[in-house]
Structure 1
Amino acid sequence: MTQYDVAIIGSGPGGYVAAIRCAQLGMKTAIIEKYSTLGGTCLNVGCIPSKALLDSSHHYEDAIKHFDTHGIEIPGDVKVNLKKMISRKQSVVDQTCAGVKFLMDKNKIEVYEGIGSFKDATHIDIKKNDGKTETIEAKNIIIATGSKPSTLPFIKLDKKRIITSTEALELKEVPKHLIVIGGGVIGLELGQVYKRLGAEVTVVEFMDRIVPGMDKALSKELTKVMKKQKVKFNLSHKVTSVENKGDEVVVKAEDKKGQEVTFTGDYCLVSVGRRPFTDGLNIEAAGVEMEKNGTIAVNEHLQTNIPNIYAIGDVVRGAMLAHKAEEEGTFVAEILAGQKPHIDYNLIPGVVYTWPEVAAVGKTEEELKEAGVAYKVGQFPMRALGRARASMDLDGFVKILADKETDEVLGVHMIGARVADLIAEAVTAMEFRASAEDISRMSHAHPTFAEAVKEAALAATDNRALHV
């Protein structure tokens, strides 16, 4: 029986990063993945493929709506070749997954393909595709099995007309009318993809606003912008039934007055969140305790009640984000090596990859109010930037929340072009406990979108933004 210092179940961003860091720290490491490709949900049916389609559909929208304004004339009609677009997406996925396999080989990490399940606290049975089972032994085990799309108990996902994000990445046609249940990140991103390609898109959301976990100002601005893009929103609507009628899907919901509303489309995307995936782990054989919500119970070191077993990523508490899982994978590897790493969960950024993009880190204005923290606000509109006018990306703003007494930055919320990249500036500043004045006195290149961060910091510092 092969023995390892560390065995990791799951090869998503948390699992494969944990494996690399463990190997770097001198541990004999194995990783177990049930699918034939590495990378988990993020690389195969999540972050990477959705961004590929977002970029492709964005290019198409620019071609039909904006090229002429830029003086670019295209003879004839611009058409969508969805098959080719999906094929390009898959090539991006394949290259990325191959990159992970290269990193496993480079770091001499043993890869096992099969379903890993606990035999006991130090042994894992691996059921391979050929039906054979191999058992390995590990001094320490990290559970990194990720999550799966959630649904509502009365919805039957047929994966043909009533679909999840996984099927939405592989459609053979552009929907005529896509009904999206859920106004969160996944629903909005994929809804925007198909809206750009010509579908009518209707979002049905239970809460009174979209992306409800983010600052209310971001929700309001994104709603306004996407309405301009002709996406229809039905907020405060409780879905009561979803039926496949053959070539159409009928969705029924109750509005805030309790009145029944019916929506009819040819596809329905169910995007009501994700659930921790621990199916088939036989976790009880190892004695690992679970929380009532389906996550694995862990302490501040991401250690379960069984001292040699850890859990990271979507199977534990906190936001289901690839970069959060990566940080936790590194964290556990360094804990096992006797180091003293840290993670500040308040500084894990959240991003929505619509266009304009939405990004945030730290506390929302609503959270500060609820906590009774005295704060000040600095906000700057993207349309006041020369760079925004040059690229025609005028929507959005940067909003900085700072402590009223100390001026320390407590939260940064932004919507606009490239803010998914721009949010890293805010994370860096907050990691070093910068004040709004600190940011305002840093030179920002001109003309850039990043100038909006400086101007918002100036606005938070005695309301002295320069360009509004």
Structure 2
Amino acid sequence: MNSYDVAIIGSGPGGYVAAIRCAQLGMKTAIIEKYATLGGTCLNVGCIPSKALLDSSHHYEDAVKHFEEHGIEVPGDIKVNLKQMISRKQAVVDQTTGGIDFLMKKNKIDVYQGLGSFKDATHITIKGEKTEEIEAKHTIIATGSKPSNLPFIELDKERIVTSTEALKLKEIPKHLIVIGGGAIGLELGQVYRRLGAEVTVIEYMDRLIPTMDAGLSRELNKVFKKAKFSVNVSHQVKSVERKGDEVIVKADNKKGEEVEFKGDYCLVSVGRRPYTDGLNAEAIGVKLTDRGQVEVNEHLQTSVKNIYAIGDVVKGAMLAHKAEEEGVFVAESLAGQKPHINYNLIPGVVYTWPEVAAVGKTEDELKEAGVAYKSGQFPMRALGRSRASMDLDGFVKVLADKETDEILGVHMIGARAADMIAEAVVGMEFRASAEDISRISHAHPTYTEAFKEAALAATDDRALHI
């Protein structure tokens, strides 16, 4: 039987990063993955493939709608080759997951393929092509999450699908109904809308991306309506039925009236649930919460002291980069170091176009906490860089403490917001004031000038270009 200092169950961004950091710190490390490829949901059926399709569909939309204005003439009709688009997406996935294989070999991490389950606190049974058992002084649970479903919806994975199936459809839907107005549903909805599908979004809450700042929701709603999405908020879905190649969705609107939607595909995107199936964790004393999450303390330690848990399977936002930070945190804790994670400063991003990104507190959260704050906002359309690229939608908003001027939250929607938010994270990690950002020279012309201008607007309302 092979013995290890650390075994990690699950090879998503949390798991494989934890494994690498453990190995860097001199621990003998094993990683266990039940699927044939490493990388978990994010690399195989989540972050990476969805971004590949978003980029491909963005290129197509630019060719159809914007090339002529840029003075680019394309002879003949521009057509979508969905098979090639899906094939390119898969090539990106294969290259990325192959990179994880390389990193495991480089760091001398033993990889076991099979379902890992606890025999006891220090022994793990792995059921794959053969059944094996390993011993581990410490174990990190990094088993991630699976798409959630509503109890009355039968997912046939052909016409009524989750994000996993939506990433490999064999045809462009005529009418895609998306249940859920969060990041995953909106990103995939935008992919197929660009390719020519009619798209209807049904959201239970009173706005799109309901966990983010209300101003971002309003702006994104405008963008989607301009793109001829049918957006239906405050609608409670009560039935989804397939009849041949047609899917019928019935929902109650905010007046309690029944509304019917008909399409040929339905994407159920109502969040994700922690995945602990087959772990046998509870049998050895690992406690789960009433939401199915692994219960952990501030050190990400479970109720069994040598077992830790990270990522989607524990409390907090289900984000790949949050899982990575937690993986590094546990590895360094096991090595006797004193790492830290500031959960308030883990950014959230929606990869639609324009992109949506945020870090820190929303206005609603500050109001609820009774914090006196000031707000500065700057529109992307006032930037020379935005006019040059024709990316005019969106804004950057800076929220700062009314007395100290410390930045408490940054919320942005616009071109490259996913990349721009990093400057806000750095600033807030060092407790920057709005004035600090406003006095930093930003290259011209860039999108990030909007952050500087918003900071100026929050500092005595002195934005320069509006």
Q: Same fold (TM over 0.5)?
A: yes
> Matched residues in 2 for 1:49 and 1:385: separation?
31
> Matched residues in 2 for 1:53 and 1:20: separation?
29
For 1:210-225, list aligned pairs within 5 A. Answer: 210-225=208-223
> Matched residues in 2 for 1:285 and 1:124: separation?
13
> Matched residues in 2 for 1:457 and 1:466: separation?
11
> Matched residues in 1 for 2:418 and 2:324: separation?
17
Cα displacement (A) at 1:286: 2.1
* Other-structure match for 2:383: 385
Q: State the AA in 1 paired with 2:83.
A: K
SS in 1 for 2:120: coil
SS in 2 for 1:359: strand
For 1:222-261, list aligned pairs within 5 A. Answer: 222-261=220-259
For 1:43-62, list aligned pairs within 5 A. Answer: 43-62=43-62
* Other-structure match for 1:162: 160
- Contact 2:293-2:313 within 8 A present in 1 as well: yes
* Other-structure match for 1:405: 403
SS in 2 for 1:294: coil
* Other-structure match for 1:68: 68
* Other-structure match for 1:423: 421
Output one character per residue of 1:86-139: Cα deviation in whole Å (capped at 9) or x when no partner: 0000000000000000000000000000000000000000001x2x21000000
Cα displacement (A) at 1:287: 1.0
* Other-structure match for 1:196: 194
- Contact 2:7-2:136 within 8 A present in 1 as well: yes
Cα displacement (A) at 1:285: 2.9
* Other-structure match for 1:104: 104
- Contact 1:121-1:285 within 8 A present in 2 as well: no
> Matched residues in 2 for 1:443 and 1:176: separation?
48
SS in 1 for 2:200: strand
SS in 1 for 2:234: coil
Output one character per residue of 1:360-394: Cα deviation in whole Å (capped at 9) or x when no partner: 00000000001110000000000000000000000
> Matched residues in 2 for 1:307 and 1:282: separation?
16
| Structure 2: runs of 5+ lacking an equivalent | none
Correspondent of 2:350 among 349, 352, 362? 352
> Matched residues in 2 for 1:202 and 1:284: separation?
41
- Contact 1:401-1:411 within 8 A present in 2 as well: yes
* Other-structure match for 1:86: 86
Name the % identity. 81
* Other-structure match for 2:288: 290
* Other-structure match for 2:182: 184
> Matched residues in 2 for 1:458 and 1:23: separation?
45
Q: Does 1:32 align with 2:70?
A: no
Cα displacement (A) at 1:284: 2.1
> Matched residues in 2 for 1:100 and 1:146: separation?
17
* Other-structure match for 2:114: 114
Output one character per residue of 1:157-180: Cα deviation in whole Å (capped at 9) or x when no partner: 000000000000000000000000
> Matched residues in 1 for 2:377 and 2:335: separation?
44
Q: State the AA in 2 paired with 1:9.
A: I
- Contact 1:115-1:127 within 8 A present in 2 as well: yes
> Matched residues in 2 for 1:305 and 1:205: separation?
37
Correspondent of 2:262 among 261, 264, 271? 264
What's the TM-score once normalised by structure 1's chain length? Answer: 0.99
Output one character per residue of 1:332-372: Cα deviation in whole Å (capped at 9) or x when no partner: 00000000000000000000000000000000000000111
Output one character per residue of 1:249-270: Cα deviation in whole Å (capped at 9) or x when no partner: 0000001111110000000000
For 1:119-158, list aligned pairs within 5 A. Answer: 119-128=119-128, 130=129, 132-158=130-156
Which sits farther off after the overlay, 446-455 or 281-290? 281-290
* Other-structure match for 2:18: 18
Q: State the AA in 1 paired with 2:219.
A: E
* Other-structure match for 1:326: 324
- Contact 2:356-2:417 within 8 A present in 1 as well: yes
> Matched residues in 2 for 1:57 and 1:294: separation?
36
Output one character per residue of 1:15-38: Cα deviation in whole Å (capped at 9) or x when no partner: 000000000000000000001100
Q: State the AA in 2 paired with 1:14.
A: G
- Contact 1:346-1:362 within 8 A present in 2 as well: yes
> Matched residues in 1 for 2:233 and 2:205: separation?
6
* Other-structure match for 1:9: 9
- Contact 1:4-1:28 within 8 A present in 2 as well: yes
> Matched residues in 2 for 1:258 and 1:285: separation?
45
> Matched residues in 2 for 1:98 and 1:38: separation?
8
* Other-structure match for 2:300: 302
SS in 2 for 1:378: strand
Output one character per residue of 1:383-412: Cα deviation in whole Å (capped at 9) or x when no partner: 000000000000000000000000000000
- Contact 2:282-2:288 within 8 A present in 1 as well: no
- Contact 2:38-2:101 within 8 A present in 1 as well: yes
* Other-structure match for 2:77: 77
Q: State the AA in 1 paired with 2:231.
A: F
Which structure 1 residue ranges, 4+ long, deviate > 4 Å from structure 2? none
> Matched residues in 1 for 2:175 and 2:189: separation?
10
SS in 2 for 1:119: strand
> Matched residues in 2 for 1:290 and 1:307: separation?
15
Q: State the AA in 2 paired with 1:121.
A: A
> Matched residues in 2 for 1:286 and 1:310: separation?
13
> Matched residues in 1 for 2:203 and 2:116: separation?
37
